[in-house]
Amino acid sequence: MSGPVLLSAERLTVRVDGGPVLLHDLSFELRAGEALIVVGESGAGKSLLAQAVMGNLPAALRVGGGLTVGSARLRAEDQRARRPLWGRTLALLPQEPALALDPMIRVLPQLARTHELVRGVGASPAMAEARRDLDAAGLGDAARRYPWQFSGGMAQRAAAAVALAGGARILLADEPTKGLDAHWRDRTIGMLDAVRQAGGCVVVITHDLRVARALGGQLIVLRAGRVTEQGDTRAILARPSDAFTQRLIQAEPANWPRRPAPAAGAAVLTARGLSKDFGDGVLFDGLDLDVRRGERWVVRGPSGVGKSTLGNVLLGLLAPDRGSVRRADGLGPTALQKLYQDPVASFAPHVSLARSLGDVARRHGHPWPKLVERLERLGLSTRLLSRRPSEVSGGELQRLALARVLMARPALLFADEPTSRLDPATQRETLMLLLDVLEEDAAEGGAGAGTALLLVTHDDDIAEAVGTRFLRLGGSPGVGSLGRAPDAA
């Protein structure tokens, strides 16, 4: 495509100061209307690429190489030089949208402030434009809420609106469809296309190969910080030459075999007439559930419909507005556990991962060598444990959170989008390991024998491969529908 280069990187390299190289000699060039898709294994350096381009790498990391950002030719190591471009020329939609939103400011004035301060729009027009942006994102009714009152998918859409509000022509989007249902995934793809059609360019980091195929453009495949394949997106995904790319494609959830259903055991909890309101609306109403040991429930429904809220009510983290939840007799105080959608929010930010996991291991009498073995099965190096949560990738932290929660050997595990930050291969390996561990605990006859799983996912292929019982929220206002896998009847 003709026209000036909007964004380019020449031999971009990121290394630990005095330590190993994390991203090796990466180069690309984007012009108006073009897209670059970055895929690869968790921890390969995909988010580091976005941070290196933005110029907001942690102090312990060093970046080298050259960058072109708009009309500016820059040394990658001069990170401060990019700051005047933030929002106006160069924008980032981060992997953890909840951390990009100020929890103390309602979303509408927060978005309006971006229009006002970044674009220089007057206060009244800025508020009007912010309202239009939120309406377009399906968040008009939630404009006066705080970010902490949003579901993960709603926060994702709000953060996208803020990232685009400054009118930047260059957008870096890190997992922009994570936590979104099919409708909002397609709307997000449309939003990224709109940036291109308006004369901009996009760099999209994603684990979802459906997103990559829809956007097309150029593709970079990363593994262990190195480019293993680079070229036209659709051509590579149709005929990959590299073995790792082939493995990613073969591991897409649509290709997973169906996991046989275990025999269901005694009830872990029962819910009768369960109802929960939010604001002026009803999330779910009159819901009856019997969750039994060994069952694998899948909870589905549009973003913001109340899936995470239902899990919190069942776990006793929230009280129902009507109805009741009853745990089985004899369950201990830690028998019901949650794997959070945003793992960074479930770790103490200033405590090392070794201490976080060590405290849980001691609390539950879990042998450290067994934890190390489980980390290895999850593809995690014990070298990560010396770091803080912010110093590992989102996918690594998601797997560390899984290893931590399994040490409690729960009778019921509520897993809220537990693999949303993982590439297809790691996603399959992680979910299969989760099911293996639950079945191993059952075979050992320990406190976690016959663990029930409640899995929230927006991916219908994962749901069909894993689930034995199904609950869909949002089919009608305040209503949930139940189902059972054909081979689990």
| pLDDT the model gives residue 304 | 80
**Is residue 161's pLDDT more than 70?**
yes
Q: Is residue 257 part of a domain?
A: no
Q: Are 75 and 154 in contact (CB under 8 A)?
A: no
pLDDT-based confidence at residue 244 (cuts at 50, 70, 90): very high
Per-residue pLDDT, averaged over 83-97, amounts to 90
Do 240 and 282 lie in one domain? The reply is: no
pTM above 0.75, yes or no: yes
Per-residue pLDDT, averaged over 447-451, amounts to 61
Q: Are 39 and 222 in contact (CB under 8 A)?
A: yes
| pLDDT the model gives residue 479 | 47
| pLDDT the model gives residue 475 | 55
Q: Is residue 259 part of a domain?
A: no
Do 99 and 190 lie in one domain? The reply is: yes
H or E stretch covering 22: strand 21-31
State which residues form the domain around 100: 5-252
CA distance 429 to 295: 20
Residue 316 CA to its chain's centroid (Å): 24
**DSSP character at residue 147:** G
Do 232 and 276 lie in one domain? The reply is: no
Per-residue pLDDT, averaged over 193-203, amounts to 95
| pLDDT the model gives residue 489 | 32
Do 293 and 328 lie in one domain? The reply is: yes
| pLDDT the model gives residue 376 | 92
CA distance 424 to 75: 34
Q: Is residue 131 part of a domain?
A: yes
The closest of 72, 97, 69, 79 to 163, measured between CA atoms, is 97
Do 242 and 275 lie in one domain? The reply is: no
Q: Which of 198, 224, 252 is the last residue of a domain?
A: 252
Q: How far from 52 is each of 49, 228, 372, CA to CA, in Å?
A: 5, 19, 32
**Is residue 102's pLDDT more than 50?**
yes
| pLDDT the model gives residue 298 | 95
Do 116 and 222 lie in one domain? The reply is: yes
CATH code where residue 92 lies: 3.40.50.300
pLDDT-based confidence at residue 174 (cuts at 50, 70, 90): very high
Q: Is residue 262 part of a domain?
A: no
What is the CB neighbour count within 10 angstroms for residue 263?
11
Dump pLDDT digits (tens) for 318-348.
999 999 999 999 999 999 999 988 888 889 9
Q: Which of 196, 224, 252 is the last residue of a domain?
A: 252
* More confidently predicted of 178 and 313: 313
**Is residue 294's pLDDT more than 50?**
yes
Do 198 and 276 lie in one domain? The reply is: no
pLDDT-based confidence at residue 478 (cuts at 50, 70, 90): very low
pLDDT-based confidence at residue 279 (cuts at 50, 70, 90): confident
Do 277 and 248 lie in one domain? The reply is: no
| pLDDT the model gives residue 483 | 55
**Is residue 480's pLDDT more than 60?**
no
| pLDDT the model gives residue 487 | 43
| pLDDT the model gives residue 477 | 41
**Is residue 433's pLDDT more than 90?**
no
| pLDDT the model gives residue 135 | 93
- For the CA atoms of 54, 458, 405, 262, the dihedral, rounded to the nearest 10 degrees, stands at -150
Do 244 and 280 lie in one domain? The reply is: no
pLDDT mean across residues, the chain: 89
pLDDT-based confidence at residue 386 (cuts at 50, 70, 90): very high
**Is residue 449's pLDDT more than 60?**
no
Do 460 and 390 lie in one domain? The reply is: yes
Per-residue pLDDT, averaged over 128-144, amounts to 92
| pLDDT the model gives residue 221 | 97
Q: Which of 50-54, 91-95, 203-207, 260-264 has the lowest mean pLDDT?
A: 260-264
Per-residue pLDDT, averaged over 5-32, amounts to 94
Q: Is residue 261 part of a domain?
A: no
Report the DSSP pairing between strands 412-416 and 336-339.
Answer: parallel
The closest of 75, 56, 74, 73 to 64, measured between CA atoms, is 75
Do 346 and 441 lie in one domain? The reply is: yes
| pLDDT the model gives residue 441 | 66
**Is residue 260's pLDDT more than 90?**
no
pLDDT-based confidence at residue 421 (cuts at 50, 70, 90): confident
Q: Which of 222, 252, 282 is the last residue of a domain?
A: 252
Q: Is residue 103 part of a domain?
A: yes
Q: Is residue 445 part of a domain?
A: yes
Q: Are 385 and 352 in contact (CB under 8 A)?
A: yes
Domain count, the chain: 2
Q: Which of 46-55, 181-190, 208-217, 399-408 has the lowest mean pLDDT?
A: 181-190
Do 241 and 318 lie in one domain? The reply is: no
